[in-house]
Amino acid sequence: MQRVKLGKSELQVPTICLGGNVFGWTVSEADSLRQLDAALEAGLNFIDTADVYSRWAPGHQGGESEAILGKWMATGNKRSNVILATKVGIDMGEGKKGLKPAYIQQAVEDSLRRLQTDYIDLYQAHKDDEETPLEETLATFDKLVEQGKVLHIGASNFSGARLAKALRVSKDNGLVSYICLQPQYNLVEREHFETDLLPVVQEHTLGVIPYYSLAAGFLTGKYRTKEDAEGKVRAVTVKKYLNDWGFQVLNVLDEVAREHHSTPARVALAWLMVQPGVTAPIASATNERHLTDLIEAAKLTLDHASLQKLTAVSAPATASKT
The per-residue pLDDT for range 95-110, each reduced to its tens digit, is: 999 999 999 999 999 9
Active site residues: 53
**pLDDT at residue 159 tops 60:** yes
The per-residue pLDDT for range 217-256, each reduced to its tens digit, is: 999 998 887 777 676 666 677 889 999 999 999 999 999 9
Let me know: does 62 contact 114? Beta carbons within 8 Å: no
- Worst-scoring range by mean pLDDT, 55-69, 120-134, 222-236, 297-311? 222-236
Rounded Cα distance, 321 and 308, in Å: 21
Q: How large is the average pLDDT for residues 21-25?
A: 96
DSSP output for 195-242: IIIHHHHHHHT-EE--BSTTGGGGGGT---SHHHHTT-TTHHHHGGG-
Instruction: Estimate the crossing angle of helix 264-273 against helix 304-313, to 10 degrees.
Output: 100
3-state secondary structure of 184: strand
- Predicted pLDDT at 321: 47
pTM for the model: 0.94
Write the CATH number of the domain with boundaries 3-182.
3.20.20.100
Q: How large is the average pLDDT for residues 50-75?
A: 96
3-state secondary structure of 182: strand
- Predicted pLDDT at 3: 64
The per-residue pLDDT for range 266-317, each reduced to its tens digit, is: 999 999 999 999 999 999 999 999 999 999 999 999 999 999 999 999 998 7
Other Cβ atoms less than 10 A from the Cβ of 97: the count is 18
- Predicted pLDDT at 285: 95
**pLDDT at residue 169 tops 70:** yes
Domains in the chain: boundaries: 3-182
Closest Cα to residue 124, out of 10, 207, 22, 13? Answer: 207
- Predicted pLDDT at 28: 97
Rounded Cα distance, 157 and 295, in Å: 26
Q: How large is the average pLDDT for residues 151-180?
A: 98
Let me know: does 271 contact 281? Beta carbons within 8 Å: no
Alpha-helical runs (H) found in 3-63? 29-41
Let me know: does 135 contact 168? Beta carbons within 8 Å: no
